[in-house]
Amino acid sequence: MSEKFSLTVNGSVHSVTADPDTPLLYVLRDDLGLNNPHFGCGLAQCGACTVHLDGQPIRSCITPISTIGDGKITTLAALGTPEKPHPLQTAYIEEQVPQCGYCINGWLMTAATFLRDNKKPTDAQIKDALVDLICRCGTHGAALRAVKRATQQA
Ligand code: FES
Ligand code: FES
- pLDDT digit string, tens, across residues 44-101: 999 999 999 999 999 999 999 999 999 999 999 999 999 999 999 999 999 999 999 9
CA angle 103, 118, 55 (to 5 degrees): 60
- Choosing from 95, 97, 103, 133 the residue with most ligand 2 atoms within 8 A of its CB, the one to mutate for a pocket test is 103
Query: In this predicted model, what pLDDT tens digit does every residue of 113-148 receive, in sequence order?
Result: 999 999 999 999 999 999 999 999 999 999 999 999
Record the pTM.
Answer: 0.96
Q: Residue 40's closest CA among 56, 19, 59?
A: 59
Using CB distances shorter than 6 Å, the residues near ligand 2 are 98-103, 135-137, 139
What's the CA-to-centroid distance between 111 and ligand 1, angstroms? 16
Order of all β-strands in the sheet with 12-18: 12-18, 3-9, 72-74, 50-53, 56-59
